[in-house]
């Protein structure tokens, strides 16, 4: 694979149920997690469900992070998808784990990119000889 980015898939269980249902707090925490990772926030959008639960995404210049909560189970599913080498999604993972007060958690890392015969990390945004970003 020609690797363009990392995709962390996190399972947070045994969390504080009130936090999982607090849309405003979750949005602040997810935005801070982005800052902790070194990524750049573009925009965040969050939605609270009736009677409970929250979904949200923070679009970052390097891709996105998203959360979906089930307060009734004390559970949150969180994705951290980052491209390039300037961001550490594991810092965001640890920050969210602390803020959700998760007692049980699991993380899986996937490489994202262009299928190929050999593994290599390629530039997130290829540049021409003049330094201009190439667009396909």
Which of 7, 55, 66, 68 does the annotation list as catalytic?
A: 68
Cα–Cα dist 114/10, whole Å: 23
User: Angle at Cα 34 formed by Cα 55 and Cα 16, nearest 5°?
Assistant: 50
- Say whether 91 sits in a helix, a strand or coil: helix
Residue 15: is it exposed, middle or buried by C-beta count within 10 angstroms (0-12/13-18/19+)? Answer: buried
User: Is 124 part of the annotated catalytic residue set?
Assistant: no
User: Is 15 part of the annotated catalytic residue set?
Assistant: no
Cα–Cα dist 110/92, whole Å: 16
- Alpha carbon 54 to chain centroid distance? 15
Which of 15, 37, 44, 63 does the annotation list as catalytic?
A: 63
- Bridge partners, 105 (sequence order): 12
Which of 15, 37, 64, 83 does the annotation list as catalytic?
A: 83
Q: Which residues are catalytic?
A: 63, 68, 83
């Amino acid at each position: 694979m020609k690797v363009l980015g990392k995709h962390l898939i996190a399972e947070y269980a045994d969390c504080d149920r009130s936090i999982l249902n607090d849309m405003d707090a979750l949005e602040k925490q997810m935005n801070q997690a982005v800052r902790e990772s070194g990524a750049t926030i573009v925009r965040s959008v969050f939605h609270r469900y009736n009677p409970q639960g929250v979904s949200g995404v923070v679009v970052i210049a390097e891709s996105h992070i998203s959360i979906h909560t089930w307060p009734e189970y004390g559970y949150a599913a969180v994705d951290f998808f980052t491209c390039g080498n300037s961001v550490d999604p594991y810092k965001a993972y640890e920050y969210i784990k602390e803020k959700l007060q998760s007692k049980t958690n699991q993380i899986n890392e996937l490489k994202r990119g262009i299928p190929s015969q050999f593994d290599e990390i390629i530039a997130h945004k290829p540049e021409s000889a003049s330094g201009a970003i190439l667009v396909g």
